[in-house]
Amino acid sequence: MNKSPLRIGIAGLGTVGAGTIKLLESQAALISLRCGRDIKVTAVSARDKAKDRGVDLSGYKWHDDPVGLASDDEVDVITELIGGEDGAAKVLVEAAIANGKHVVTANKALIAHHGTELAKSAEAANVALAFEAAVAGGIPIVKAMKEGLAANNISRVFGILNGTCNYILSEMRETGKDFEIVLKEAQDLGYAEADPAFDVDGVDAAHKLAILTSLAFGCEVNFKDVYIEGIRHVSPLDIEFADDLGYRIKLLGIARKTDQGIEQRVHPCMVPLDAPIAHIEDVFNAVVADGDFVDTTMYEGRGAGEGPTASAVVADIVDIASDRRSNTFSIPADKLSKMKVAPISSHVGSYYVRFMVADKPGVFAAIASALHDNNVSMEAILQRGRSESEAVPVVLTTHEADEASMIATLEAIEKNEAVVEPPRLIRIESF
């Protein structure tokens, strides 16, 4: 056993930071046995020194400025748990790398926006930049992509990457309640933030997808070209129709190779009930990767929370303690390719569309005409109820069509005076 302990400096003592200290303390003997070296927290930094975090910090050096950890001679590894794409988190990570210290982070926004440049700096400095906890919480998907699937060309990676959205959609289906009601309940339970926009508008999932795309395809991290659509527009009515049609609605992040380039998209999907990912419920995450030799692999677990995320943070620390090193994004950072982007307009797939229409003669003829004019083929059409005074839902599903043609179809239909609100489109995915 290496007699010299690996010394850890932790910046950010929120749920994950405090959880990391608890885990390292409670599992100290097991971790030491597994990596052949003691791991010891020596210094910490956070905004409020007096705050009760449920852990004893008296034995650790305190830094009011987290960047001070980067020059602390008693710290070997910086664990950045501050969060945010810029600001103190970015400055700390850059300073740590410049000072020859390894970095472990749970900061998906930082890696999604600056991962390529940080990886180049870390590899040039011969230090680790590890981020298992940035994607899917306790699921070891980064290690699976970098190591377990290293012999495979990946053609597609997709998954449920945000537990808050998955919980909301699951509850809406189980209870029939509207989005806003279930969102408030999720906030009361601590599953959603007071400002839930990053979660419910798809940004959180997009950060994670951008990272997975780079790992899967050996390209530079490219968050800016992720197509993002959240779940605010999904209604209980859509969920009922999905059930009637043999689907469940899930917010998915999907990256795949196409003839036009690499698609990166986050949006609600109609998922067939016979697909395993359709049955991932509550706050759980799941990631599916398709490889040319391994075929389809699926990874499921808790995507957030103190324990699962701390477990992922410590897994990276254990790798460093064990001197297990790999390239940040599977291949050397200076070999990462520029991504050829497939825009959402080039996407080809099937679609679910719901219209709310006044029950007037000629509505179906107008819909059929718009479909014909844009070369979109209808698979099925459903209508519920009739009412001379209220709008009624009309749902159609299509055969495969390109996105640009589908959008043109909807724009033409929406101009009809019988259509009383914007059409709701959800892409159908066949897995």
Domains and CATH numbers, the chain: 2-134 (3.40.50.720), 141-302+335-344 (3.30.360.10), 347-428 (3.30.70.260)
- Compute the average pLDDT of residues 331-346: 95
Closest Cα partner for 371 from 344, 404, 398, 403? 398
What CA–CA distance (Å, rounded) separates 252 from 165?
A: 10
DSSP string, 319-360: HHHTT----TBSB-GGGPBPP-B--GGG-EEEEEEEEEE---
The pLDDT-based confidence of 386 (bands split at 50, 70, 90) is: low
Tokens of 320: 């460093």
What percentage of the chain exceeds 90 in pLDDT?
A: 86
What CA–CA distance (Å, rounded) separates 164 from 202?
A: 10
Q: At what angle do helices 363-373 and 403-414 cross, to 10 degrees?
A: 150
Tokens of 335: 């070999």
pLDDT higher than threshold 80 for residue 268: yes
What CA–CA distance (Å, rounded) separates 271 from 251?
A: 10
The pLDDT-based confidence of 324 (bands split at 50, 70, 90) is: very high
- Compute the average pLDDT of residues 250-261: 96
pLDDT given at position 105: 98
Closest Cα partner for 408 from 393, 418, 398? 398
On average, the pLDDT of the chain sits at 94
Helix (H) or strand (E) holding 270: strand 261-272
pLDDT higher than threshold 90 for residue 177: yes
- Compute the average pLDDT of residues 29-58: 93
Closest Cα partner for 10 from 89, 84, 86? 89
Strand order in the sheet with 129-130: 61-63, 37-45, 2-11, 77-80, 102-105, 129-130
pTM (two decimals): 0.95
Residues noted as catalytic: 208
- Compute the average pLDDT of residues 7-36: 96
pLDDT given at position 416: 86
pLDDT given at position 209: 98
> Do 70 and 89 form a contact (C-beta atoms < 8 A)?
no
Query: Could you tell me which residues come within 8 angstroms of residue 420 by beta carbon, excluding any fewer than 6 positions away?
Result: 356, 357, 358, 391
> Do 208 and 108 form a contact (C-beta atoms < 8 A)?
yes
pLDDT given at position 190: 86
Residue with tokens 């959205």: 165
pLDDT higher than threshold 80 for residue 354: yes
The string over 62-96, giving b where at least 16 C-beta atoms fall within 10 Å of a residue's C-beta and e elsewhere, is ebeebbbbbebeebbbbbbbbbebeebbbebbbbb
> Do 6 and 39 form a contact (C-beta atoms < 8 A)?
yes
pLDDT higher than threshold 60 for residue 1: no
pLDDT given at position 399: 96
pLDDT higher than threshold 60 for residue 37: yes
Q: What's the distance, Cα to Cα, between the start and end of the chain in Å?
A: 47
> Do 98 and 120 form a contact (C-beta atoms < 8 A)?
no
Q: Is the dihedral of CA 326, 331, 335, 339 positive or negative?
A: negative
Closest Cα partner for 408 from 371, 382, 358? 371
Name the burial class of residue 122, with classes exposed (0-12), middle (13-18) and buried (19+) by CB atoms within 10 angstroms of its CB: buried
- Compute the average pLDDT of residues 21-32: 96
pLDDT given at position 364: 83
- Compute the average pLDDT of residues 49-59: 90
